[in-house]
Structure 1
Amino acid sequence: MCVCLGTIEDVDTEFNWYYEASKKCCSAIKKEGDIVKCKKENKVLKSIVPRFRLKIIVYDNTDDATFVLFEKEVQKMLNKSASELLDIQEMKGDRYGFLEAFTQLLGKKLLFKVDIPSKHTSGTNRNFTVINSMDDQKLIDKWMGLYMKIESERYKQEQIEYESVKDVEG
């Protein structure tokens, strides 16, 4: 798990912004002919619901990464469910198109709590699932204060190590 401060730079439109899910457990579905089943529980479903799975590009002043937002987080940011937005798209006759509503996410600066997979190695997969996000300025300021303190301590330690190597080589 990791917390970072970043700005939403773009919405990845290469992938669909929603998936069809079980109403009960929110898991994706699988279709076997005319039968629809929950992928997680493998139970036949009577009804399904669209749920957000939105990929965004986030920049933190050092690099960018793809963050994956699910229903709770996108709904919190847009104040609409995937179902509501899909209804709007269907009225426009464009079920799979890019939603205008997503443009209001661009430029937003947020604290993101993201899941770092245990098998993650730097530079490989740069897709991270967002567990929580917030734009509360007081919390962001508090986080920045802690971050700056940690970075200052790290820099001091590097300077001490550098000086001790210089003394040994000296």
Structure 2
Amino acid sequence: MMILDFGDIIANRITSTTVIDIIGELITIENVKEVKSNGSKRKLLEFELQDSNNIKLQCSLWGDYAVQVSQYIQKANSGIIIIVIQLAKTKPYGGKITITNALYASILINPDIPEVVDLKKSQIPTEKAYSIEGDFLLLTERKTLDEIREAREVCTCVTLATIQKIQTDYNWFYNACKKYQRKINAENGKFWCEKYNENARFVIPRYRVQVLVIDHTCTASFILFDHEAKQFIHKSAVELRERLTKEDDDDSFPQELDVLVKRKLLFKIQVSEFNLNQNWPVFSVSKMTNDENLIVAFRDNLDLNQESTGQEYFTNEAESTKKKDGLDNGSLSVTGDNEVKICSSDNITPCKRNLLESDVEH
């Protein structure tokens, strides 16, 4: 396989009639959309790849390629996703050079080949700038609350649930150092920042709101931290704490938190080692949204993505829902005759307790 350098592609050193092979890490991805092309409607999937030199390249897949690759990525766990496109071609779009599939192209995801192993080794894990659609609908595993509570492995997943109530047995904030915004402890009359192992000169409150959520399967407890809580409260924990202090009402829960109750939201949550080792059914929320379009899309696709028939091959769009169990560690090959092969790759009621390190933002 002759892999072409992204720099040569972006510099427009390749003619649009030349077919090429590329390999890169998936950085961003959008939803599949339907667009008009040459007088007919076609499926389009747009995404961005990054090579070993951290050069980014816009890519687009059409037709069955778009649908099948999108469906596979929806089932893949979060982590490094490497995409190989063989027999691709360049195309100017929006003033930039983009990559698209040729007629008989092949698309492989996380194949067990030396080029993929080398690229994975070269990549430093970072928080990818996935679109909100990609993050909630494509790249993160979906689970019900019952499946989250029954999880036996560390994972990140998305779930749809309604906040039933604020759990007022737990405080709604924690004290953090102003400089690093991390949890602090009081020692000998001083505040100590655990994360960076130094004295904290200034201390501020940050949100840590524990809520009871419910879906059609069961209930669970989620923790909303500062960024997520402020999306809906529209005031900082500092403002609410100062108001309560002025009113000599430090022990009360601020009424502003009530805006969270009865909201149906998509939550991206983490099942951590602490959850598993301590059998602790309280899960941290890393992102959440009330976007109605995302909620509808999530609900519409939930049943489809939970189906699994054990089929190893599917050869047309009508059979594209027949996906194999265990995609999390697998690889995908999409070829020009629309054949897809999925193969193995070697590669609730919590008790009261003190605030632990696992309960605060990192």
Relative to the length of structure 2, the TM-score reads 0.41
Post-superposition Cα deviations, 1:104-158, rounded to whole Å, max 9, x if no partner, equal: 111000000001114645xx3210000000000001111112202124x24x77x
Residues 1:130 and 2:285 are matched in the alignment = yes
- Is the contact between residue 275 and residue 282 of structure 2 (CA under 8 Å) also seen in structure 1? no
**Alpha-carbon distance between aligned partners in 2 of 1:114 and 1:82, rounded to the nearest angstrom:** 22
Higher radius of gyration, 1 or 2: 2
Aligned-partner SS, 2:249: coil
**Alpha-carbon distance between aligned partners in 1 of 2:174 and 2:251, rounded to the nearest angstrom:** 11
Aligned-partner SS, 2:198: coil
- Within 5 Å, which residues of 2 pair with 1:1-170? 1-118=156-273, 120-121=275-276, 124-151=279-306, 153-154=307-308
**Alpha-carbon distance between aligned partners in 2 of 1:127 and 1:53, rounded to the nearest angstrom:** 12
2:242 corresponds to which letter in structure 1?
Answer: D
Query: Which 5+ residue runs of structure 1 have no aligned equivalent?
Result: 158-170
Aligned residues: 155
- Is the contact between residue 18 and residue 52 of structure 1 (CA under 8 Å) also seen in structure 2? yes
Post-superposition Cα deviations, 1:39-65, rounded to whole Å, max 9, x if no partner, equal: 211211211111011100010121111
Q: Percent identity?
A: 31
Aligned-partner SS, 2:239: helix
- In the TM superposition, what is the alpha-carbon distance from 1:15 to its structure 2 partner? 1.2
**Alpha-carbon distance between aligned partners in 1 of 2:208 and 2:300, rounded to the nearest angstrom:** 32
The answer to which structure has the higher helix fraction is 1
**Alpha-carbon distance between aligned partners in 2 of 1:21 and 1:27, rounded to the nearest angstrom:** 5
- Is the contact between residue 57 and residue 66 of structure 1 (CA under 8 Å) also seen in structure 2? yes
Q: Which runs of 4+ in 1 moved over 2 A?
A: 118-121
Post-superposition Cα deviations, 1:71-109, rounded to whole Å, max 9, x if no partner, equal: 001111111110011112112211121111111111000
Query: Which shifted more, 109-118 or 129-138?
Result: 109-118
- In the TM superposition, what is the alpha-carbon distance from 1:69 to its structure 2 partner? 0.8
- Is the contact between residue 16 and residue 96 of structure 1 (CA under 8 Å) also seen in structure 2? no
